[in-house]
Amino acid sequence: MRSKFGAVALMMALAGTAVAATINPVPAATQLKLAEGYTDVKTGDMTLRIVKAHVGSPDASAFDTFTVYVLPRKAGESWLQATVPGQKGLGYNLRTYETADANVQSIAFYQQGGQLYAVQAARPSGGAEVNLAKAHVDIKVFKFNRDWDVPKFDNEGAMTTKGSYHDAADALPGEFFTH
């Protein structure tokens, strides 16, 4: 009996330390060109609405948010919001981060094999000194699950760029979306 509890405890401990798989670059042609406002994307039997909104601030930093909704099958039904993994629990949108010094985080979407993915490129931030220097960029990919009950983006994988970039946005065409 004791060994069964030990095995279960070990499995639970290891499950909490799961690491995302390493991802590979994808063809540039798969990247979605998002309109200002919203873009509708078909995936499986769902139509997703990606809403892009800009948020300004008085301190020379700003960001764009990307909120994804599953449109109802017919009028009068509820829209469903697709969540994303957050730093603490769920996140409700993806966002860019721009400072006066650099684009610290950038977001893109792509479709491959009928599947929708979100990509987040983020570089270290920490004030003007850090933002002015080039740095490696961490790229995370999230895969949309196409679930009508709990629509969400799940962690698909991650990579770190070989090169260093001033703006996180430059890492995407530089190393993730290939020609």
Tens digit of each residue's pLDDT (9 = 90 or more) over 87-130: 776 788 899 988 877 889 999 999 999 999 999 999 976 666 77
- Residue-number span of the structural domain to which 129 is assigned: 22-178
Q: Has residue 24 got a pLDDT over 80?
A: yes
pLDDT at 20: 61
Assigned domain for 16 exists: no
Residue 36: pLDDT over 70: yes
pLDDT for residue 4? 43
Does 1 map to a domain?
Answer: no
- The rounded mean pLDDT for the chain is 86
Query: What's the number of domains the chain is made of?
Result: 1
> Which has more pLDDT, 101 or 171?
171
Task: Determine contact, residues 119/141, Cβ cutoff 8 Å.
Answer: yes
Residue 116: φ, ψ to 5°: -100, 135
- The contacts of residue 101 (CB under 8 Å, 6+ apart) are 128, 131, 132
Q: Give the count of beta carbons closer than 10 Å to the beta carbon of residue 171.
A: 28
In a domain, 143, yes or no: yes
Angle (CA) 116-120-123 rounded to 5° is: 165
Indicate whether 137 belongs to any domain. yes
- Residue 8 located in a structural domain: no
Question: For residue 2, is it within any domain?
Answer: no
Q: Per the domain annotation, does 5 fall within a domain?
A: no
Beta bridge partners of 38: 51
For residue 43, what pLDDT is reported?
96
Confidence of residue 69 (pLDDT cuts 50, 70, 90): very high
Residue 1 has pLDDT above 50, yes or no: no
At 56 the pLDDT is: 86
